[in-house]
A and B are shown apart, each in its own frame.
Chain A
Amino acid sequence: MNQKTNIESSYKLQANSHKPLVNSNLLSKMNTENWDCKLAVMKYAKFVLFTFAFFLSTFALSAQQQRFPKPEFDSGYTQPSPVTPEPRALALEYFDVLVLLLVLSAATYLALKSRSRQGILWLSIFTLAYFGFYRNGCICSIGSIQNMVLSFFDPGYSVSITTLLFFLLPLLFALFFGRVFCAGACPLGAIQDLVIMKPISLPKWLNKTLGLIPYIYLALAVLFAATGTDFIICRYDPFVGIFRMDAKFHMIVLGVAFLLMGMFVARPYCRFLCPYGVLLSWMSRFSKWHLAITPSKCIQCKLCTTSCPFDAIDFPTNEKEVVKSGLGPKRFVTYALIIPLWVALGVFVGNRSHTFLSKANPTVYLAELMISKPEIKDDLDNIDVQTFRASGESMDELVLEAEAIRDKFYTGSMIAGGFLGLVIGMTLLNTVVFRKRQDYEPHKGNCLSCARCVDYCPVEK
C-alpha cells in the first residue's frame, strides 16, 4: 500500500513540475510528458523497493545478533598490543661506529706498535662479545658490501652513515696498516681464531684454488645485491645464528661445521669465503705500515715459518734458480697474453649462465613457474603464488618485471664473469711474477695481522 501511495504522489509531483511546459507547448509535448512521467514512476519505484529491501536486511541482521551474543571472555587477561621494535637509537649506532674505530685503532697499535699477540687476542675476545654476541653480528662490515651495492643500483634504497662508515673504515685502515680489521675487529674472524687447535698447512695449489672462492662469492653477492635479488652474504653468514642463539638447524650445522673445520684449517671462512676479505686484501697490498715479522733485521731463523696458521708468510726467493730456468719471462708473457682470453671466457660463461642465475630472483622464478605450471595458481598452500594473486598484479605485469630483472642479470652476469676471468688470469700471472725477497715476510694481501709470527721472532728491537 505504501509503495502505491508513494508512486502516485510522485507522479503528481512530476506532473506539476511540468505544468508551465505543458501550457506553452501543449500538443507537441504531450507524448514527451507521458514518457517523463513513466520514467519518474520507475525511478521512485526503484527507490521504494531499495528502501524496503534495506529495512528487511537490517531486520535480519538484528535477528542474527539477538540469537546469540558475541562472546565476552572475562578472564582478567589483558591482550597485549603488538609492539613493533624500534630501530636502534641513532646515538647508539654512532656509538657502534666509535667502538669500531677504537677497536681498529687498538688493533693497529697492538699489531704494529706494541706487537702484542696477547693484546690482539683479548681485543678479538672483546669484539666477539660486543659485535658478535651483544650486537648479534649486525651491523657487520662484510655484509655492508651488499648495502653499498644496492644503494648504487636502486634509487629507492639508501644507506645510513653508520653503514657507510662500517664499510669504509676497515678498508681505510687496511690501506694504511694492513688487515687489522681481520686481526681484532671482526667477530666472525674472532670466533674462528679462538678454535684454532692444530692448524695444518695446505698445499700451495690448494690455497690458490680455494682462494678464488671469495672472488666468486663477491661477484655473486654484488650481482644479487645489484639486481635486488638477495643478500647472500647475510643469508649464508655461518656464525650469525650462533651469535643470536637463534637459527634454523641447518644454519647451526653450517656454523658448527666451519668451527670444526677451523680447528685444523685456520679461519676457513676468512680465507676461503669472505668476500670482504677480497677488498681488504686489495687495500692491504698497498699498505705502507704493515705488520713486520721482525722488528729489526731478520736473522733467517725460520721460527716464524711454522707460526702462521694461514700460510701467509712468503719465503725468501732464490733468484739464481729462477734466472737459471729461464722460464720466468716466457711464462709471464704467455700468461699476460691469455688474460684477455680468460676475461672473454668469463664473459661468455656469464652470458650463458645469466638465465640460470636469474632464477635466484623470486620474481623471475615465480613468473617462470606460473608460466610452466599454470595449475599452481590454484594451489592454496603456495604462499608465494597466493601472495602474488592477492597483490592484484596481473600476469603480464609480473612477466614484464621478470624480464627487466633478467636483462639486469644478462649484463651483470657478463660483468661478473669477466671479472672472475680477470681474477683467474691475474692469479696465474702472479704465480710467475718474480718478487725479490731476501727475508721471511708476511704476504700483505693474505696476512691477517694476528701477530702470531711476532711472538715467535727471537729478534728484539
Chain B
Amino acid sequence: MKNKGIVIFLIVLAVVIIAVMVGDWYSKRPDRMEANKFEYNIEEFRKVPEELILFKEVKNFRVGFENPAGITSSGDTIYLVGDQKLKAIDIDGQLLLEIDFQDKPTTVEVEGENIYLAFGKSVKVLNRAGEIQDEWNIEGENTYVTAISGKEDFVFVADAGNRKILRYTKNGNLLDSFEGKADADDLHGFIIPSPYFDIDVNEYGDLWAVNPGIHSLEQYTDNGNLREHWQASGAQTENFSGCCNPAHFCFLEDGSFVTSEKGLVRIKIYKSSGEFLGVVAPPTKFDDKIEGQAPDVAVDNKGNIYALDFDRKVLRVFEKN
C-alpha cells in the first residue's frame, strides 16, 4: 500500500480524536464527575516514612482529667493541669501532689521553686508544696493567658487575647510588654488566629515564642527585640500547616525544639537552628479527626518527651529509638 505508514498514523490519530471527544462527552455527567480537586484531603500528609520517626511510645497514663489543659516538667516531676486541678506525678505516674481550685487553669509552668498557673486573666504563683504565694491579675478585656515561662529574673506571660508577651518580675511587677512588631518588614507582630500562643525559655535563657499565624518560631530579647526566627510553612511533614501552628512547643536539653501541631496532629523535633530533625509521633498515632487537638508537650531530664493527648485524655511518653 502506498503511504502505509502515514495511513496507520492517520488511523491512530483518528482513534485518538474520537476517543478524546467521546471520553469528554461521557465524563461530564453528574454521576461521572471527576474527583473534586479542591477537596480538603490531607491523607497523603498523614503518612510519614518510618526512617523519619525517631521516637517510640513506651507508656501512657490516664491523667484523670475530663478536660486536660497543660503540662510542664521539672526534673523528674511532671506537672499537669486540667478541670480545676493541678497534679504532680513522678515519671512512673505516681501522684505526688493534687490541688483543687475554684477556676479552670489554662496552663502551668515551673520555674525555680515556684509553680505558675494561668487562669485566663490571672496568674497564681504557688510554691512546690502547692501553697498559693501570690496572684497577679492581668488587665485587659480580651486577656487570655495561654503560656508562661520564666528565667532567673523574669517571668514571661503570653497573652493570646491581646497578642502580646508580658514581662514580670518574680514579685509580680509588670515591667513591659511587646507585640513582636517593629518597623522592619520581617516583623509582622504576633498573628494569633486562635488561642494557641506558646512561649518557652531554653537552657541558655533565650526566650522563644511561636508566631502561629505565620508558622514561625521567634527569639526575643528580654525587652522584646527580635534576635532570630525560623519559619516552616506547608502541609509536608517538615513544615507547619493550618491556621495556627505549632500550637505548643518545648525544648530538649540541647536546645532542639519539640513542636506539637493541631489539625494534622503530629509531634516533631527541629534543631535549634530550625532544621527539621525528625518525627516524635506521626499523625497516625493520634485520633483521625478533622480538627485534632495539639497535645501539649514537655521533656524530662532524660530526654523523654511527654505528650498530653487532649483527645484521648492520656499522658503519653515517647522515648528515643
Q: Hey, which bits of chain A sit against chain B, CB under 8 A? A: 66-69, 71-76, 198, 200, 235-236, 238, 250-251, 253-254, 257-258, 260-261, 264-265, 360, 362, 365-366, 369, 373, 376, 381-385
Contact = CB atoms under 8 A, between A and B. Distances in A.
A381 B185 CA distance: 42
Contact of A71 (B24, B30, B194): B194
Contacts of A198: 6
B189 interface: yes
A75 B16 contact: no
19 contacts: A68-B142, A68-B160, A68-B194, A71-B213, A75-B188, A76-B185, A251-B20, A254-B16, A254-B17, A261-B10, A261-B17, A360-B25, A366-B30, A369-B29, A369-B30, A382-B30, A382-B31, A383-B33, A384-B33
Given A67-B144, A253-B20, A381 B191 contact: no
Contacts of A265: 10
Given A200-B3, A261-B10, A264-B10, A74 B191 contact: yes
B10 A258 contact: no
B29 A365 contact: yes
The 4 A-B pairs of least Cβ separation, nearest first, read A384-B30, A71-B193, A261-B13, A69-B142
Contacts of A238: 17
A270 to B, nearest CB: 14
Contacts of A73: 191, 193, 213
Q: Is the interface of B mostly helix, strand, loop or mixed?
A: loop
Interface of B: 3, 6-7, 9-10, 13-14, 16-17, 20-21, 23-25, 29-31, 33, 36, 39, 141-142, 144, 160-161, 163, 181, 185, 188-189, 191-195, 213-214
B6 A200 contact: yes
Interface-centre pick from B16, B141, B193, B195 (highest chain A CB count, 10 A): B16
Contacts of B192: 71
B9 A264 contact: yes
A200 B33 CA distance: 40
Nearest to B179: A74
A261 B9 CA distance: 8
A365 B30 contact: yes
A392 B86 CA distance: 54
B21 A254 contact: yes
Contacts of A260: 9, 13
Given A73-B191, A76-B188, A385-B30, 19 more contacts: A68-B142, A71-B193, A71-B213, A74-B189, A75-B191, A75-B213, A236-B21, A250-B23, A253-B20, A254-B20, A257-B16, A257-B20, A376-B31, A381-B36, A381-B39, A382-B33, A383-B30, A383-B36, A384-B30
A97 to B, nearest CB: 31
Contacts of A72: 163
Interface-centre pick from B20, B29, B213 (highest chain A CB count, 10 A): B20
A413 B135 CA distance: 85
Contacts of B24: 235-236, 250-251
A363 to B, nearest CB: 10
Nearest to B121: A66
A260 B9 CA distance: 9
A366 B185 CA distance: 54
B303 to A, nearest CB: 34
